[in-house]
Amino acid sequence: MRSRRSTRWFFLLFCLSIGLLLGVTAVIPTHADEQRAYSITPQGNDSNCDFIAVANGIQNIGGDGEGAYLLARTLIPQAGRDYKEVFYTLFGSQGSDQPFAPDNLGAAPEAFSGLYQALGYNAVAVAAPAGVIDLDFTRAIRDMLAAEPDRAFAHVWITPYDYDPMARVLSVEETGEQERMLYPYHEVVVMLASDPERFVVLDGLVGYPYELSLSDMAYLLRGFNSVIVVSRNDGSFEDHQRFQISREGQPYVVAPLGGPYLSFARTRFREAYQTWGRVIGQPLRVVERGRSTVLVPGEYVQYVGTYADGVTLAQLGSRMAEELLQAGLIAPETVTLSGSADLTNGILLWVEGQFGSDERFHQMFGRTITPEFWLSAEQMQAVLPASVTLASDSYAQPDGYIVVLTERAMIVWTPTCGAWLVPLGQVYYQQMHHRLGME
């Protein structure tokens, strides 16, 4: 709980008096701990409820809570930036150890994008419109937990009786965006109680498990109405990927662009990051060249987070070039292994119109690795899923397509439609669906 009164006792008082604030007897020490021993890491006079929630959640589904706490602190950057990207603090690299203050607020839900996957768990982001008491949303969280009652928890952001949804406005340097910051708030873990109309709450400030009704939790969630539901993956690596993909399209499930991926997208795409960097699915773990990374699928790109090396974009254009070579659709000498081929004609004009200059385009999507080459409609359909729309008239191009590949993108051009960027992120995400038998 972030408060202008930086004493631990204030927050203990808040947590213990939620029921009084609501006008009901909401906080009940749970008897569930008589049947199950919950482990709660205590929180001091600091703003570490973010990382404490990670520890409490992981510990109580059978994982290493202390290790998760330490790794979470490493993986979530600490800087005085938009708290959708980082742990918001003006106190330096160990700012989360400082007392609660408006300048030391922690992270918003989006900042945890990819974190739990990096820790080795399944994790799904769910959200409803902020500022609204939505009991159906809370029931949806309950139902997700009920599907795996001993293996799942929800990391939730709660707000007290009174809060300011615009306590501060942060300016994002790369994009010029003005981002609102909510204050105060607190982060806790909830698990299922024996009564399906109640949650067990694990709070580092309180120190013992207590219960809240679904309606009371709906009230406390209203500020953000954003939650991460985390569960163990006791199956194979592919089972984790299937789980992440299978949650797409379910009620309240969202695919936020947050954390280091958001920082990277804003830096790379600037004002256009919501166009070229738009996310289309949940983060999931992948293994490439022998190392595990967290992939965030986008429409045109795929973000790859190794954390040791930061975030980068997958080389989807180079991957497409390899596939075209293997299919015999282009000759080996077509692909430029070093240097960069020039963009020309209508494709160059389109790039300059969309991105301001070809240099800016190359900063986003890498160097050009092929000159213009031609593919027939049938050849194009052979390498791209039919669900990927190429243009307003799709594959009905009797004269085929002029194509250029860069390291991370595919540009096509026709006389009737001009040039456009093919959504290679979507193409290869759908290939993953197919490989996992999910089509």
What confidence tens digit (pLDDT) does each residue in 165-187 have? 999 999 999 999 999 999 999 99
What pLDDT is stored for residue 384 in this prediction? 84
Alpha carbon distance 266, 310 (integer Å): 14
Alpha helices (H) along 60-134: 65-75, 115-118
pTM of the model: 0.90
Determine contact, residues 269/250, Cβ cutoff 8 Å. no
**Which sign does the torsion angle of CA 217, 112, 188, 50 carry?**
negative
Task: Please give the chain's pLDDT, 439 residues, in tens.
Answer: 444 333 343 444 444 433 333 333 345 565 544 567 899 999 998 999 999 999 999 999 999 999 999 999 988 888 889 999 999 998 888 889 998 888 888 999 999 999 999 999 999 999 999 999 999 999 999 999 999 999 999 999 999 999 999 999 999 999 999 999 999 999 999 999 999 999 999 999 999 999 999 999 999 999 999 999 999 999 999 999 999 999 999 999 999 999 999 999 999 999 999 999 999 999 999 987 778 899 999 999 999 987 667 899 999 999 999 999 999 999 998 898 777 778 999 999 999 999 999 999 999 999 999 999 999 988 888 888 766 656 544 445 567 899 999 999 999 998 888 999 999 999 999 999 999 998 7
What pLDDT is stored for residue 391 in this prediction? 53
What pLDDT is stored for residue 28 in this prediction? 53
Q: Residue 133 to residues 14, 124, 218, 224: CA-CA distances in angstroms?
A: 20, 21, 6, 10
